[in-house]
Amino acid sequence: MKPLHLETLAVHAGRKIDSGTGAVAQPIHLSTTFQRGADGEYPLGFSYTRETNPNRKALEQCLAALEGGKEALAYASGLAVTTAALQGLQPGDHAIAPDDVYYGLRKVVAEVFGKWPIEVSYVDMTDLDALRAAIRPSTRLIWVETPSNPLMKVTDLAAVAEIARAANAVTICDSTFATPVAQRPLELGIDMVMHSTTKYFGGHSDILGGSLVTAHDNYLFERCRLSQEYGGSVPSPFDCWLLLRSIETLPWRVRGQQANAMQLAQFLETHKAVERVHYPGLESHPAHALAARQMTGGFGAMLSFQVRGGRDKTLGVAARTEIITRATSLGSTHSLIEHRASVEGRRPVPHRISSGSRRASSMYPI
């Protein structure tokens, strides 16, 4: 069969017509336990829902297909994927993450793994020499996030994959801001791709989830599987069902969101109260050329911008928005705005906007 388009995979991958009823929409299997055969085996492949479940299996098949990967694991949240990957390291192992990584990763490293014998270095991964210099003989994992949250830095995935291969380290790309619509990390040589599926995949601000898709069998993926099944960080059958339902419209939602974000970024760039706009789709973005090459399906729908006049002026902008809601998160039908420096407490970027499917740019206060 010819390779299927993303739109087709989003609707069909992992699904089948229910053999018992002919139902076209997928049923939800809430049962936590499944009947053994007379021989004590599980003839249909399901035993206990923490280990696997028909809804999770369908979701994982679809997630793998969307990324062009070999296999996927679905988790209860995006940070559960991060936790699983770090748990998979051995004592004495070293990992490298971007200096502008989603702040939750730093929090997990510091608070959950603070006393574990693993070490994480943070480097500016847009500087490949800095990445090379950070590699040690014990480096096992290179975590890359592009575009990054919140500065929208763009990292060269093919170059990072090559550097990691030479160092015998596994790469994981947090591609949450890009989605498989915009960016294809596995095709660029990255070993595994993760998403907070809470964002674009769920797309309606009502599901928490995470995914890890691998291009090939590897030790860290197997450790992540253990962490999922026996650590128990699994999504419920209902969440799996709802996520798979939402994925049907993922390509179309993302394309609309990206178009809105581009308009908003262009508008903000011309506004006299705005000091700087961070959006890889703008020619003014320092890595626009790389983004145009690497993000083959668009530039994502997240942007951040800096307002002239300091903190109060900045908070004032968020305070006066209409239609755009003051709330954290991204990727849903709702456009959200957040004063990120207040959340993270240290970075210079005052605002972050996720452009939802609703047109928001004309409502933005001038």
Minimal distance, residue 186 CB to ligand PLP, in Å: 18
- In the set 176, 183, 211, 332, which binds ligand PLP (CB under 6 A)? 176
Among 10, 63, 73, 102, binds ligand PLP (CB under 6 A): 102
Based on CB atoms, which residue is closest to ligand PLP, 144 or 282?
Answer: 144
- In angstroms, the CA 88 to CA 101 distance is 19
Question: Cβ of residue 351: shortest distance to ligand PLP, in angstroms?
Answer: 15
Q: Is 364 a catalytic residue?
A: no
Query: For ligand PLP, which residue of 55, 139, 196, 211 counts as binding (CB under 6 A)?
Result: 196
Q: How far is the CB of 2 from ligand PLP (least distance, A)?
A: 33
Residue 157 neighbours by CB under 8 Å, 6+ apart? 144, 146, 173, 183, 185, 188, 189, 190, 294
Return the number of the residue (53 or 83) whose C-beta is nearest ligand PLP.
Answer: 83
* Residue 262 identity: M
The single residue of 102, 200, 279, 364 carrying the catalytic annotation is: 102
Residue 354 engages ligand PLP in binding (rule: CB under 6 A):
no
Residue 172, beta-bridge partner list? 143, 192
Residues 128-157 that bind ligand PLP (CB under 6 A): 145, 149
Q: Contact region for ligand PLP (CB under 6 A) — 73-81, 86-94, 162-170, 287-295?
A: 73-81
- Using Cβ positions, the residue closest to ligand PLP within the complex turns out to be 78
Q: Give the residue among 112, 109, 111, 78 at the shortest CA–CA distance from 96.
A: 109
Torsion over CA: 106, 107, 110, 115 (sign): negative
- Per the annotation, the verdict on 199 as an active-site residue is yes
SS3 343: helix
Shortest CB 212 distance to ligand PLP, Å: 12
Q: List the 336-339 sheet strands across, edge first.
A: 274-278, 302-307, 351-354, 336-339, 325-326
Active-site residue, 50 included: yes
Tell me how far the alpha carbon of residue 123 is from its chain's centroid: 20
Query: Annotated catalytic residue: which of 199, 253, 340, 352?
Result: 199
Q: Specify whether the CB–CB gap between 317 and 306 falls below 8 A.
A: no
Q: Which stretch, 24-32, 174-182, 247-255, 349-357, contacts ligand PLP (CB under 6 A)?
A: 174-182
Whole-angstrom distance, CA of residue 347 vs CA of residue 340 = 8
In the bound state with ligand PLP, the residue whose beta carbon lies nearer, of 79 and 353, is 79
Asked if 23 and 49 count as a contact pair (C-beta separation under 8 A), the reply is no
Q: Is 174 a catalytic residue?
A: yes
Residue ranges of alpha helices (H) inside the chain are 6-12, 54-67, 78-87, 103-107, 128-134, 157-166, 179-182, 219-229, 237-247, 250-269, 288-294, 311-319, 340-344
- Which of 78, 98, 180, 185 binds ligand PLP (CB under 6 A)? It is 78
Residue in the structure block whose two tokens are 């021989």: 39
Instruction: Assess contact for 178 and 154: CB atoms under 8 A.
Output: no
Q: Which of 15, 50, 225, 245 is catalytic?
A: 50
Q: How far is the CB of 271 from ligand PLP (least distance, A)?
A: 25
3-state secondary structure of 179: helix
What span, in angstroms and rounded, lies between the C-alpha atoms of 125 and 118? 20
Which CB, 77 or 263, lies closer to ligand PLP? Answer: 77
Check residue 100 for interaction with ligand PLP (CB under 6 A).
no
For ligand PLP, which residue of 10, 66, 79, 84 counts as binding (CB under 6 A)?
A: 79
Nearest one of 351, 335, 348 to 273, comparing CA atoms: 351
Query: Could you say which of 100, 156, 174, 191 is catalytic?
Result: 174
Please give the residue ranges that form the binding site for ligand PLP (CB under 6 A): 77-79, 102, 104, 145, 149, 174, 176-177, 196, 198, 208, 210
For the annotated catalytic residues, the residue numbers are 50, 102, 174, 199
